[in-house]
Structure 1
Amino acid sequence: MQWVWAFNNGSSPDAPYNDPAHAYPGDRYVDWVGIDGYNWGFGPSWDPTGDHWTSFDATFAAAYAKARDVAPNRPVMIGEFASTEDGGDKARWIEDMDAKLSSGAYPDLKLLTYFDVTKEEPWSPTSSPAALATFTSWTRQRYMKGRGHDLARVAGDYACSRVPTASF
């Protein structure tokens, strides 16, 4: 069993007291640091008049830096992420994400989980033929490797405690 401590890519309200670092329980209890974030596009339900289209880097760079500052000895995962079609080009967003990830800008990012659901927005990569083709191509990149059993080894590479963090 491995434990994930996760936070959203932005705090609301964005105030010093609401800094996710204040909630970090410490390396003794955490195997992974997770970040959740979305490209909401134009007109999300919580702000229908706003334009919230953000690139992958604009969505995650500051949160990734926060994760490295708070827990430099832990691998990072993006536990939930997705882009909407509304307000931009999802296929282009995925291409830009691929370019950023393959550039090495996020060296400790070891796991990504795409939120494949149509909920508040059309998050699924099947929301358009172009998005699906680009998403499929992205998942075949060389840096996209490993499956479940490989993940157990990643956290160990980051000096995780060999002592169980919990017992039942």
Structure 2
Amino acid sequence: MKPLRSLACVVALVILGLSLMAAPAQAAAASISLSPAKGPAGTTVTVTGTGFPKKSSGTVSAGTSSAAFKASASGYFTADIVIPQTSQPVLDVQAVSGTVRASTGFTLLAAPAAEPSPPGISSSPLRFGVGTPGGPLAGSELDQVASLAGEAPSVILSYKDFNQAPPITELNAVRSRGATTLLTWEPWAWGGGSEQPAYTLKRISAGNFDPYLREWGTALASWGHPVMLRFGHEMNGNWYPWAEGINGNEPGDFAAAWRHVHDVVAATGATNITWVWNPNVPYWGSTPLDGLYPGSAYVDAVALDGYNWGTSAAWSSWVSPSELFGYGLAELSRLAPGKEVLVAETASAEQGGSKADWNTALISYLAARADVTAVVWFNFNKETDWRINSSTSSAAALASALAAR
């Protein structure tokens, strides 16, 4: 009997093995995953599914949002869905294909705070402008000034010497900000000091620089948008080689050079230029303005540069805005009646008084004058800290004064 019993056992095992081989494999359970799995409402989420019926169609849903999907031959799919607004901290995301269903949760996070809109340009008749160390291409510097002042500058000051090409890229950068360039054109080589025989006023008038002048005129004419050009600013001082009485220059030379530069540039068709004649505020010993003025036909606007040095220098003392600019503005009105007037460079030191009070007084004083159309802040830490934010109180006062004008 033992052999028969053994044979029966073998047969039973074979039958059992065959039945196991014939049985279908158990299908893997369907599942989904999310990427990302958390975020604010409005987040686009990629839903990845596995284990769904082969080549089946289905729907992914999350609250009020839904998206269709089609599984691959292996039961895999991906679908994108946007997370809707909901009060639930965790939103159920489901994928359904026929009777097969899988779900998981998306964790809702608070939306990030919206970035504040940058300050815009004021519509005030007194325009606010600025010059910064990096110039028109230093967007971060200009943005910082806008933040400090509570408004974006509508005039941006820049400087070029007689060895530099027309700054069309910079002009475009300023224009893209909705501002106007106040372009300082200096007839010298930067860093060469006040005695530069190659740049005497007589050489300019004699035509030695005419090809260069025509290059600038042609480029500005081709560019075609408004630009304010101040040639040889602060000519009544003694610190630049275009001043009379130094560098071989004689009385009458500056006005003659100005007229020559104007005529050569104008002949290129650059009618988009506003010619800005710009002395320093007159001081004891400065060159009288009458002999420096080239005539009304050669000037579109006039300007002054003036700084309150306070006690930052051994020779200086605190001066109010009216003391600083009063006489010079009267002189401009006498020489150039009816011309637009700008304060093209100004700032105050901290030493010797309250810079905050000075800033407030400056804007109030200039805003009360119908002839002054712009004030341009020299935002440099140079001879002293002229910057708007040399102190917190200075920045706050200027912003408040600009807002109140």
The answer for the alignment partner of 1:78 in structure 2 is: 343
Q: Partners in 2 of 1:100 and 1:57 — Cα distance?
A: 7
Structure 1 residue 99 displacement after superposition: 3.0
CA drift at 1:128:
0.4
Q: Please report how far the alpha carbon of residue 135 of structure 1 lies from its aligned counterpart in structure 2 after TM superposition.
A: 1.1
Q: Deviations over 1:131-166 (max 9, x none)?
A: 010111122234xxxxxxxxxxxxxxxxxxxxxxxx
Give the aligned partner of residue 135 of structure 1: 398
Q: In the TM superposition, what is the alpha-carbon distance from 1:4 to its structure 2 partner?
A: 0.4
Instruction: Quote the residue 2:193 is aligned against.
Output: none
Shift of 1:51: 4.3
Q: Give the match's secondary structure for 1:85.
A: coil
1:27 pairs with 2:290: no
CA contact (8 A) 1:91 1:131 kept: yes
* CA distance in structure 2 between the partners assigned to 1:132 and 1:33 by the alignment: 28
Unmatched segments (≥5 aa) in structure 2 = 1-272
Percent of counterpart pairs with the same letter?
33
Return the letter of the residue paired with 1:32: A
- Larger RCO: 1 or 2 (CA < 8 Å, sep 6+): 1
Q: 1:147 maps to what in 2?
A: none
1:42–1:51 Cα contact (<8 Å) kept:
yes
* Whole-angstrom CA distance in 2 between matches of 1:62 and 1:75: 17
Looking at secondary structure, tell me which structure has more strand per residue: 2
Other-structure match for 1:88: 353
Match of 1:99 among 364, 382, 388: 364
SS at match of 1:121: coil
Larger radius of gyration: 2
1:3 to 275, 280, 291: 275
SS of equivalent to 1:125: coil
What amino acid is aligned across from residue 28 of structure 1 in structure 2? Answer: A
Aligned-residue CA RMSD (Å): 1.5
**Unaligned stretches of 5+ in structure 1?**
143-168
Q: 1:10 deviation in Å?
A: 1.9
2:333 paired with 1:68 = yes
For residues 104-123 of structure 1, what are the structure 2 equivalents within 5 Å? 104=368, 106-123=369-386
TM-score normalised per structure 2: 0.32
What amino acid sits opposite 1:141 in the alignment? A
1:12 deviates by 5.1
| Cα distance in 1 between the residues matched to 2:401 and 2:361 | 10
